[in-house]
A and B are shown apart, each in its own frame.
Chain A
Amino acid sequence: MSAVPAARPAEDAAAEGGEDRSDGSAGRLAGYNLGYLDENTKRMIRRTLLKAVAIPGHQVPFGSREMPLPYGWGTGGIQVTAAVIGPEDRLKVIDQGADDTTNAVSIRRFFARVAGVATTERTREASIIQTRHRIPETPLREGQIIVYQVPMPEPLFRLEPRVAETRRMHALADYGLMHVKLYEDIARHGQVAISYNYPVMVNGRYLMAPSPIPSFDNPKMDRMPALQLFGAGREKRIYAVPPYTAVKSLDFEDHPFQPVRAPAACALCGSQESYLDEVVTDDRGGRIFVCSDTDYCHTRQAAQPREAAE
């Protein structure tokens, strides 16, 4: 146990057990480059990221590498994080808002081992937040970077499967097809029938898939002070939204964009504002709604301990 530096997170120390596989300096595994990727790959991803930031919302292809987790588990996000992260960073990883799910725990542990970074579950304390399908409830600030895991970067792919054709449509800013889809939704259902991955226009030019975040989170992307990076590993695309950039959810003047939220309060912290998950509690139809963002919910519960202790 004495080989484990005192500052290391408990989960990492526990995961490593008695084996001394770290190089000792920063709790990093020996034999891996900082952040797992080799320097050539990092340079390629870094060049891609800079062009992505310079052209907000435009999907830049990159040479996606095989990572030690399967496609669909965040290989794009993990490569972006690996190219950006350094020993001064503090990493938070969430999966559907939760810090304690398998995907979030293993990615956090991965970077604690291969990059020697400190990790946290607090949104406020993190310098890099890798996320699968949520934006934290706590507003992000300047200096933070949020990395989205993206399964399908092309917002038009359900309408136009040919990549060559969608690329042409982006070049011409020809997004009529998406407007027709929204119109048909309204004609058929009375409202736009998209509750997650709701398409957005970035800086008034590029149509962008915000990754499958609930449409509830879309307004948080607009003029966000933090830098937003998106990585799609299987589809080999990286895109970005710089800070303070207009991100507008597509809508019509007479059918304005309406984010969806369950009409309830969180059963644990009582929040009326946060995005809620529905949890089935028994097999007789019992169900409760709880915050999807675990850090937000825990912070609120800690701030009101007396009522909860009855």
Chain B
Amino acid sequence: MNAPLTPGFAEPVLDAQRCFRAVLEAMARPGRVQALPALPEAPAPLAPAAAAVLLTLADADTPVWLDAGEAAAAWLRFHAGCPIAASAAEATFALAGGVPPALRDLSQGTEEEPHRSATLLVQVAALAEGGGWRLTGPGIEREHRLLAAGLPAGFEAEWAANHARFPRGVDVILCAGDRLAALPRTTRLEAG
């Protein structure tokens, strides 16, 4: 039952820096898919990219909620030192391997402090540029196309409501394997 803990980042300082730059680039250019240069050995249901993002950003100040099981929670608690939140609503970072929680159930921030909202990491089956959604908004010159396979059917409608709550709202990072793309709340999303 008690499998040995797998390692986190091989070079914690450099790997976290490289990973952060990829996430920053993803958040600044929504829909562009970034490949992470350095990945930890994450336990099974955790996608390497999602695990890398949490190791880069989560610590004792950020409650994390995840549905990836006890082994993943123990791994994260050991390497990031973050508290594990009982419900997604209390989390600063929420990670969904299965069906993601409804965006409206996550922390939205307030009108005066919209930055206090949650960031949702969703593990999807695949990410590809050039097809699928049509994205517009800040960070995008004309439009970006992003195909994210494996999201629930109602996600577009949920995202439209999330976008309309601006400046409140949740930011989403989609992870597939060692790749990720971000959807900040400013991004408009049309089914392609």
Contact = CB atoms under 8 A, between A and B. Distances in A.
A244 interface: yes
A64 B119 CA distance: 22
A167 B139 contact: no
Contacts of B110: 171
A50 B138 contact: no
A47 B138 CA distance: 19
A203 interface: yes
A53 B184 contact: yes
Nearest to B13: A34
B62 A47 contact: yes
Contacts, number: 107
Interface stretch (B22-30, B42-50, B69-77, B153-161): B22-30
Contacts of B56: 43, 46
A40 B62 CA distance: 12
Contact of B27 (A34, A42, A44, A50): A50
Contacts of B186: 54-56, 203, 242
Contacts of A86: 14, 17-18, 21
Interface in A231-252: 241-246
Contact of A34 (B14, B62, B112): B14
Contacts of B62: 47
B27 A54 contact: yes
Contacts of A245: 138-139
A48 B110 CA distance: 16
Interface magnitude class on chain B: 35 or more
A172 B13 CA distance: 40
Contact of B17 (A34, A54, A170): A34
Nearest to A43: B59
A243 B184 CA distance: 13
B133 to A, nearest CB: 18
Among B14, B20, B61, B62, residue most surrounded by chain A Cβ atoms (within 10 Å): B20
A227 interface: yes
B28 A227 contact: yes
B31 to A, nearest CB: 12
Interface in A43-102: 43-44, 46-56, 58, 60, 83-87
A182 B115 CA distance: 30
A261 interface: no
Interface residues of A, number: 43
B140 to A, nearest CB: 6
A242 B171 CA distance: 14
Contacts of B24: 46, 49-50, 53, 84, 227
A34 B29 CA distance: 26
A40 B13 CA distance: 11
B12 A46 contact: no
Interface string A195-238: 00000000101100000000000000001010100000000000
Nearest to A226: B28
B27 A55 contact: no
Nearest to A238: B115
Contacts of B92: 47
A57 B117 CA distance: 16
Given A53-B184, A55-B185, A244 B114 contact: no
Contacts of A205: 166-167
Contacts of A206: 167
Contacts of A203: 138, 186
Interface string B74-117: 00000000000000000010000000000000000011101101
Contacts of A33: 13
21 contacts: A39-B13, A43-B57, A50-B24, A50-B27, A53-B28, A55-B114, A55-B166, A56-B138, A58-B114, A83-B20, A84-B20, A84-B24, A203-B138, A203-B186, A206-B167, A225-B141, A227-B24, A242-B29, A243-B29, A245-B138, A245-B139
Q: 4 tightest CB-CB pairs across the interface, nearest first?
A: A54-B184, A242-B139, A171-B111, A51-B115
Interface of A: 33-35, 39-40, 42-44, 46-56, 58, 60, 83-87, 167-168, 170-172, 203, 205-206, 223, 225, 227, 241-246
Given A55-B115, A171-B111, 4 more contacts: A53-B28, A54-B115, A55-B114, A243-B141
Interface of B: 12-14, 16-18, 20-21, 23-24, 27-29, 56-59, 61-62, 92, 110-112, 114-115, 117, 119, 138-141, 166-167, 171, 184-186
